[in-house]
Amino acid sequence: MSIPSDMTFETALARLEKIVEKMDSGEPSLEEALKLFSEGTELVRYCSSVIEDAEGKLEVLVQGKDGRDVAVPFEEFNSGDEDREDDEA
């Protein structure tokens, strides 16, 4: 299966949830379970890439050393590289 170009994150996530439910039920044959696993793997990759793209567009507002608010890219904030004062005095 390849991900359709018009698939949304929400549609992919809903399909992934259905796959997990079906796999958890123990209902599918081994052959069907392998196909579902393969589809699920593709959906996880797609969802992860959508999330990574969204994180790249996000900014976090933090207080700089001078007390003014500064917009910092999410990735910088998430990695702890932003220029913030320590809580210790």
> What pLDDT digit, counting tens, does each position of 65-86 carry?
888 888 888 777 776 544 444 4
pLDDT in tens, 27-51: 999 999 999 999 999 999 999 999 9
> Of 61, 64, 66, whose CA–CA distance to 83 is shortest?
64
Burial class of residue 7 in the structure, from the number of CB atoms within 10 Å of its CB (0-12 exposed, 13-18 middle, 19+ buried): middle
| 6-7-10-13 Cα dihedral, nearest 10 degrees | -170
The model's pTM: 0.68
Domain residue ranges of the chain, discontinuous segments joined by +: 9-57, 58-89
**CA neighbor of 28 nearest in space, from 41, 18, 14, 13:** 18
